[in-house]
Amino acid sequence: MMNSDIQKLRTILMVSKTLNFSEAAYELNFTPSAISKQVLSIEKSLGVILFDRHSRNGVTLTLEMQMLLPALQKVVSSFDEFEGVLRTISPEPVFNIGTPPLFPSQVASQIIAEMVQQMPSLDVELMRHDNRTLLKLVRLGKIDAAVTVILGKAEDNPEFFKERHRELEIKKLRKTQDMVFLNENHPLASRNTFSTKDMLEVEGSRFLFINPRPHTASHREQIFMRYCEKYGVVREVKEVNLESSVAIRTILRNISSNPQYIAFGPAGLSKGVKGVVERVCEDSMYPSQEVICYRKDSKSKAFRIFLDAVKKVADGEL
């Protein structure tokens, strides 16, 4: 059976699960029109209608689809098992790793360098997407693993803890925290560390929280506002939701030209930006967690090398 045929069967299964073309499109990383075309194609080849269409892309299963569904699930499950065995015995010239746009480049470079050193014939490809897309791509087998950072508490990152990811392994690595980005002429720039209270005492300070996850809120600005209330000061506080490293450069350039701005975000973002320094906040209440994500059935030699490289980076061996 060709991969295109299996993809169509996966599409039918996802539509059967979600009962909605738009939701199935999101889960499979396609457009709703592409989903509709695939369904029509397989209905035409089978000579039966599988779904009764409703408004707003909603559907219900026809009697024929209800009868076919158990066998269809077995076919796709068997093919997945076949692919899993094949991956363990076939050489893998390419290993695809996904990271979010603002993930520290030095961490990804260390992982890739260690993998290539262990297996010189391996071609490691790096691609960047937001966390929700990374999880989908790993689940669909379009990338082999993802290395990313989740901000705040578990409840602020529901995409990593939903039951639909039962086939994925999500492991925690290092705990990190937001760095503070300052203009090099800021009163606190001469110190390596300082407290939240120190920052709040600087008159006219304006605070920005950099969130690399599209269409989400990390609630860090709300936590910071409570600190403002605690110390009896009024400051401008805003969360900036980003989708690309281009946008962060714009923010950092604004900091380099305006000492009033203070930004919080992942370490390493200010590299190469003149006039901006990174410092540590002693009482940081903005924790983050590095995690890796991969399919539970991953068993290839390249995958084992990837896990070893990630462990060495997390343990500070590289």
pLDDT digits (tens, 9 = 90+) for 87-114: 666 665 789 999 887 677 778 888 999 9
Please check the confidence at residue 85 and state whether its pLDDT lies above 80. no
**Residue at which a domain ends, from 37, 68, 87:** 87
Are 145 and 185 in a shared domain?
A: no
**Where is average pLDDT lowest: 69-73, 79-83, 205-209?**
79-83
Q: Which domain holds residue 41?
A: 1-87
Shared domain check, 167 and 94: yes
Number of domains in the chain: 3
Determine what percent of the chain is predicted with pLDDT higher than 70: 82
pLDDT band at residue 265 under the 50/70/90 scheme: confident
Q: Judge if 103 and 189 occupy the same domain.
A: no
The verdict on 130 and 171 lying in the same domain is: yes
* Whole-number pLDDT of residue 244: 47
Distance from C-alpha of 113 to C-alpha of 123, rounded to nearest angstrom: 11
Residues 253 and 200 in one domain: yes
pLDDT tens, residue by residue, 123-161: 898 988 877 788 888 888 889 999 987 766 655 666 666
CATH number at residue 99: 3.40.190.10
Query: b/e for 118-141, b at 16 or more Cβ within 10 A?
Result: ebeebebebeebbbbbbbbbbbee
**Could you give phi then psi for residue 2, rounded to 5 degrees?**
-75, 155
Mean pLDDT along residues 79-87:
73
State the average pLDDT over residues 47-75.
88
Return the sign of the alpha-carbon dihedral for residues 35, 8, 53, 61.
negative
pLDDT at residue number 68: 92
152 plus 108 within the same structural domain:
yes
pLDDT of residue 234: 83
Does position 228 have pLDDT exceeding 70, yes or no?
yes
Residue 45 has pLDDT above 70, yes or no: yes
Residue 160 and residue 296 in one domain? yes
Q: How far is CA 139 from the centre of its chain?
A: 12
Amino acid type, 44: K
Q: 53, 68, 87 — which closes off a domain?
A: 87
Tell me what pLDDT residue 297 has: 82
Closest CA to 213 of 141, 112, 134, 293: 134
Same-domain check for residues 127 and 220: no
